[in-house]
Structure 1
Amino acid sequence: MVARLQKLKPDWAKERTVLFQSVKAGTPKSGAYPFLVTAQVHDYGTGFPANKYYGQTTVGTFEDERFILSEDDFGGWKVEGPLTPPKSVSKANPAEGVSAIPVNSLPGKPAANKPAPAPTGASPAKVVKLPMGEWASYGTGGQLLIGLGFVLKADGTYTNLEGKEGGKYVHDTAAATVTFKGGFLDGEVGTNVKLSGFKLSNTISCEPYR
């Protein structure tokens, strides 16, 4: 969802930030995963400071909007639902580099956050290395999700099980996340990474294929 919203960022906006307040998973039916999402989309534009125009900030709101996640015909995922916020507020920025509506003044959290620095004297976290090779994805009830399997390679790339539609992945050991860039998992972020696997969403888990 975040990847699609980023692709729809307006031309005037330099930055788009999606902040999630709540994501409620519904009951999956026939391979479709429904969600109710409350989120805000923050668009910041710089304008043309040389002409004394400092751009604008627009904040759009999704409130308990229904989205459905389902597999497409190519082993990836598609999102159905409104991708333009039904409510929005725009304000002119007061000065160069200053947003009229600071993103840190809004409720919610980005889909993936950088970890907070560890307190002084804290014991270093155990580094988890991702197992290389084939991975399987499972939905609610342990259902194997055909088409969502992938292969992790030691050079930081991945492919589907057929060796196609590949891209790169970044394993952040401090944050215990793995971020996919390019390929059929583009924009997806796995969380709570352990040797046994990670969560790709509230209803999808990924595990090394044994």
Structure 2
Amino acid sequence: MDLWTNVLHKISTKLSKPSFATWLKNTTADIRDDVITVKAHNEFQAMWIEERYSVLIAETVKEITGRTMDIRIYSTDEKPDFKRQSSQDDSSGGKDYVELKSIIELQQMKLHELESRIRCLESPEKKPCTEVKFVFFNDTGRKVGIHQATAEHGTKCDMTAIKPLEERIFVLPEGTYPWVKMWDYGEEKGLSLLVSPKQD
């Protein structure tokens, strides 16, 4: 098993299946000396990996090799030395990029909730699912605070901030589904997550 395959295998045990399959499973890498060049299939995927998973990749590489290696990420349709501008510096496409990220994050949250329901239905105990469990995996690279309205609306959870790469379970009342909203208040106040139970 080559190094990158080994890295991907270990990372797959740390991320949810949808997140790993969406962003990292189809990547390849060139390794020269102490530099690992990760190849994504397009520019958006490269930007997402760089923003959300570069630290995780570096930590996993060090865990396997015992060495600190330089991680470089680019897409196969760009040159390796191409410098990406952040969404804040891109006045024309930045807003669309941020909105697309929000949509993807929401879809990932829904996938986590569906996985929780499937596990409940497939439980060998065959007990009725009286509660809905929503699982949030923090792959933002930042701490995520829990909005106080989460508890006020009837969702049960640990209200402490969610650390990067930490998973948090939210328990909602029977017959409800999670309505999820995240706000970004900047570097000082950080991210805030609301998980509120809703009924059709």
* TM-score interval (norm. to shorter): under 0.3
Normalised to the residue count of structure 2, the TM-score between the two structures is 0.23
Q: Give the structure with the larger helix fraction.
A: 2
Q: Give the structure with the larger strand fraction.
A: 1
